[in-house]
Every structure is written in C-alpha cells, then in structure tokens.
Amino acid sequence: MTYAENILETIGNTPLVKMNKLTAEIDALVLAKYETFNPGNSVKDRMALKMLEEAEAKGLIQPGGTIIEGTSGNTGMGLALAAIVKGYKMVCVMSDKQSKEKTDILKAVGSKVVVCPTDVAPDDPQSYYSVAKRMAEETPNSWYVNQYDNLANTKAHYESTGPEIWKQTDGKITHFIVGVGTGGTISGVGKYLKEQNPKIKVWGVDTYGSVFKKYHETGEFDENEIYPYVTEGIGEDIIPKNVDFSVIDGFTKVTDKDAAIYTRKLAREEGFFLGNSAGAAAKGLLQLKEHFEKDDVVVVLFHDHGSRYVGKMFNDEWMKKQGFL
C-alpha cells in the first residue's frame, strides 16, 4: 500500500505545467511550477515545515508550545498544518490588506488570527512585524518564526524546490522567474540552479511600493519608494536576510492593476486558478520576453491558490472599486 503517514509528507513534488495561450508570443518553452498542489495550497508549506523542524532540533519550542508568526497568510497556513500534526498552538499576525478568505482559512484550521494596520512603518509598534515579535516575548513557551530572517526558509527551497525543477527539466532550464517577498524561494532555488549551471538566469518579480528592484540595482534603500500597494505576497518595505541578491540577475516591477488582471487571465485562458502573486509573475514573465530565445526553457513559479482571492481579484465589484475594470 502507498500512503503518507500524515499530511506533511505530501509537501513537495509539485508538477510542471506548460503554459500555452498567455505565452503565445514567447518562442521559448514556458513551464509553470504549480505549487498549489501542496496540502496548504502554497509554496510556503515547504519552508514552514523546514523552519519548524529546525526550531524543534534547536530546542526553540517545547511540546504543547505556541508558534507565532507575522504572515500574509500562506506561511501561516503551512505552519498551521504542521502545528496540528505536531501538537502546537498557532497564532497568525496579519496586515489588514490581506484577503478575508486568508483570515477565514486560518481560523478554519484552528489558528488564532490578529489583524494589524498595513499603512504603518515596519518598526511601528502596531505593524504586524512588531506585534508578532511582542506577542512571542509575552507568551510562555512560544516561538517567533520570523520567516524574513530565518534562513531555514531559503534552505527549504535549496533542498527541495530547486532540485525538483532541475530534475523535472532534465537540467535544461535556462531561466527561473518568481515573485519575491521573504526571498526564500528565489534565493534557495536560484542558488541550487546556479550551482548546477551558472548560466541559468534568475529573475525576481517586484511590485511598485517595494524596495527590491532599486536596492538590487544601486545598493540604495530608498524610503521614498515605499507606499501601500494592493498586490499580496510579494514586495517588501524591508530587506529580509533571506534575499540573496548575489543569485538574482535582475528584477522587473509589475503594477497592482496588471497583477490583478493577469490573475484573471491565468484562470480564464490557461485554466490556472491561482493567487495574486501569480498574476504578477505572469505579467513579469511577459515583460522579460526579449531575454528568451527559441530553445530556452523558462520556469515560472506560481505561489498560491485562487480560492484565497475570490472576494478580490475574482470579484467584479472589488475590481471596479480599485479602478482595475
């Protein structure tokens, strides 16, 4: 008989799926690394489990303890599933820009959810970074995950996502494209792939209101670039330790409107029911098309599932209110 001992053993080994209609103008073979096949419906399941296992090995959390994390929703879901299997309590601290679906899903799997304002500086006591950190300091037998600076995040993708892509493409991959938030996915996958073939190009997709692209190009952290944006799951107003700029060849920025519209296009033209960051990644891919040649194999990673955005990008009224329709 073939079965998993628990739900955590089903993480990883997600499929590569060829893109067709949306990429008709690109000569290269474009493949989507389809991460919604993970049990928590996102790529974050991989690093959530890895971070928890490393914390257990280091004695940072004891049996029956509480996991506390600031999350845009997906890391929280991965941690919540791991917490259920391993017997921990879970507290997710989120900003108020995240979709209602994300909050509801986290509550559905038994997590406590604390919501904080988006439009405050990272070091403001009300920010979700600060609140998560403070709650961990005040809660006995708790562990503050800190996915931004916890390098087990990058390690997870170096050990699983990168090798999977290399094997699935038979080593023929030439370009890897992914939205960048904490930086763990692009850094872990990018490091692994470049160790196999230094000629592979690694591109990050950023959003307007985020600091990554300019910081990568100039080394300057420009606070004037920071402002609230709608796109979920990518971009930052900080530089996480997980972002290894040395393995990133460049960034392209995608507007909130394009990210939302291409989230819909993926569903209606490819049958890919995916989240907001996938729309940004798809548009970023098209913006980079002049970098691809006929025999190239381009892999774009899609983070999470469309079910988390039915009240937003897939809702006509919300889209009209934002000026996107």
Domain boundary among 124, 144, 164: 144
Phi, psi of 21 (to 5 degrees): -70, -50
Q: Are residues 50 and 170 in the same domain?
A: no
CATH number of the domain encompassing residue 65: 3.40.50.1100
Q: Are residues 269 and 316 in the same domain?
A: yes
| Half-sphere exposure (Cβ direction) of 190: Cα atoms closer than 13 Å | 23
pLDDT at 10 over 90: yes
Domain boundary among 144, 179, 194: 144
pLDDT bin (cut points 50, 70, 90) of residue 230 is: very high
Domain-located, residue 71: yes
Q: Are residues 83 and 120 in the same domain?
A: yes
d(CA 117, CA 119): 6
Q: Tell me, what's the pLDDT at 122?
A: 84
Q: Are residues 122 and 208 in the same domain?
A: no
Q: Give strand ranges (E) for the chain.
A: 16-18, 29-34, 66-70, 89-95, 112-116, 142-144, 175-179, 201-207, 250-254, 297-302
Q: Tell me, what's the pLDDT at 308?
A: 94
Q: Are residues 202 and 299 in the same domain?
A: yes
Nearest Cα neighbor of 267 from 42, 11, 19 is 19
| Domain span holding position 97 | 44-144
pLDDT at 271 over 90: yes
Q: Tell me, what's the pLDDT at 26?
A: 97
Least confident stretch, 27-36, 46-55, 92-101, 305-314 = 92-101
The rounded percent of the chain whose pLDDT value lies above 70 is: 100
- What CA–CA distances, in Å, run from 199 to 27, 28, 136, 170, 275? 19, 16, 43, 15, 30
Asked if residues 21 and 290 have their Cβ atoms less than 8 Å apart, the reply is no
Q: Are residues 30 and 170 in the same domain?
A: yes
Domain boundary among 125, 144, 163: 144
pLDDT digits (tens, 9 = 90+) for 17-72: 999 999 999 999 999 999 999 999 999 999 999 999 999 999 999 999 999 999 88
Domain-located, residue 1: no
Number of domains composing the chain: 2
pLDDT at 173 over 90: yes
Q: Tell me, what's the pLDDT at 36?
A: 98
Q: Are residues 119 and 213 in the same domain?
A: no
Asked if residues 167 and 161 have their Cβ atoms less than 8 Å apart, the reply is no
pLDDT bin (cut points 50, 70, 90) of residue 231 is: very high
Catalytic residues: 44
pLDDT at 120 over 90: no
Domain-located, residue 2: no
Domain-located, residue 127: yes
Q: Tell me, what's the pLDDT at 48?
A: 98
Average pLDDT, the chain: 96
Q: What value does the mean pLDDT take over residues 229-236?
A: 94
Q: What value does the mean pLDDT take over residues 240-265?
A: 98
Q: Are residues 250 and 305 in the same domain?
A: yes
Q: Are residues 67 and 15 in the same domain?
A: no
Domain-located, residue 75: yes
Domain-located, residue 317: yes
Q: Are residues 122 and 175 in the same domain?
A: no
Least confident stretch, 70-74, 191-195, 211-215 = 70-74
pLDDT digits (tens, 9 = 90+) for 274-286: 999 999 999 999 9
pLDDT at 147 over 90: yes
Domain-located, residue 28: yes
The rounded percent of the chain whose pLDDT value lies above 90 is: 94
Kindly calculate the radius of gyration of the chain based on its CA atoms and give it in whole angstroms. 19
d(CA 233, CA 213): 16
Q: Are residues 162 and 299 in the same domain?
A: yes
Phi, psi of 151 (to 5 degrees): -70, -5
Q: What value does the mean pLDDT take over residues 316-323?
A: 98
Domain-located, residue 104: yes
Q: Are residues 138 and 65 in the same domain?
A: yes
